[in-house]
Structure 1
């Protein structure tokens, strides 16, 4: 009898997206998270911390979307969630479909530099997470336009 082994999708190496953000002075960590509370990449957080933050941020995003939809009637999609504390900031913005970029900073960060770099990297992230369309050649006639026989 075969044991059922869970199949997990390997996480993509997204360090090239996080690295430029981490170069902004006073940025401490960055993450790519999913809307359902999982992380795709992070900048060296402990695994358990990354998992907890992903879940908490997903809840924060859901609250932000709910607030926006309730107040603005669904005509204003969520563009950013920001948390400010005495110790620093957390910025979260949408990236590719169902994916978000989160950045954790110290209190003295230049917020405009963080937001600018996040926007640049979201464009890069969107391109990295989009898979090319598959071409299914099974059942096609080689002498035609490639449509199934």
Structure 2
């Protein structure tokens, strides 16, 4: 199953359709689990992108604490690499939205459309922390 909410994949596809030069979109939990992704990503590549995005967000959070105002507040991350761009924004409690675009994409349009999507459907983009599993073994 690609999504925990049936409309989320459709909304991610819509984001790509209305944002030029975007290739993939993914919603992930803070700890790196994919929650939903666009159809252009295979399951393995979605897992890989979720792990990468989670790591980038974690490092950016640390930079915010150390070099920002100390609150750890993080608005967005953008990574530019040969052949593309990766944008990541917070998308509700414990969730992030990641978009991969071509290197000639307009970062302003992508950031605007991502934030607009988060504002419209933020309640669907929430991933509460997972509770640790209880062991049933006697001590």
TM-score, structure 2 normalization: 0.80
Q: Counterpart of 1:17?
A: 11
Structure 2 Cα separation of the partners of residues 37 and 49 of structure 1: 13
Task: Work out whether residues 33 and 100 of structure 1, in 8 Å CA contact, stay in contact via their aligned partners in 2.
Answer: yes
Q: Counterpart of 2:74?
A: 78
Task: Work out whether residues 21 and 114 of structure 1, in 8 Å CA contact, stay in contact via their aligned partners in 2.
Answer: no
Please report how far the alpha carbon of residue 124 of structure 1 lies from its aligned counterpart in structure 2 after TM superposition: 2.2
Q: Counterpart of 1:139?
A: none
Please report how far the alpha carbon of residue 17 of structure 1 lies from its aligned counterpart in structure 2 after TM superposition: 2.6
Q: Secondary structure at the match of 2:57?
A: helix
Give the structure with higher Rg (CA).
1
User: Between Structure 1 and Structure 2, which shows a larger proportion of helix residues?
Assistant: 2
Q: Secondary structure at the match of 1:29?
A: strand
Q: Counterpart of 1:121?
A: 117
Structure 2 Cα separation of the partners of residues 16 and 91 of structure 1: 19
Gaps of 5+ in 2: 127-139
Structure 2 Cα separation of the partners of residues 61 and 129 of structure 1: 16
Please report how far the alpha carbon of residue 107 of structure 1 lies from its aligned counterpart in structure 2 after TM superposition: 1.0
Structure 1 Cα separation of the partners of residues 68 and 121 of structure 2: 28
Runs of 4+ in 1 over 4 A off after TM superposition: none
Structure 1 Cα separation of the partners of residues 114 and 10 of structure 2: 13
Gaps of 5+ in 1: 1-9, 131-149
Q: Secondary structure at the match of 1:41?
A: strand
How many residues were matched structurally? 122
TM-score, structure 1 normalization: 0.75
Structure 2 Cα separation of the partners of residues 25 and 47 of structure 1: 24
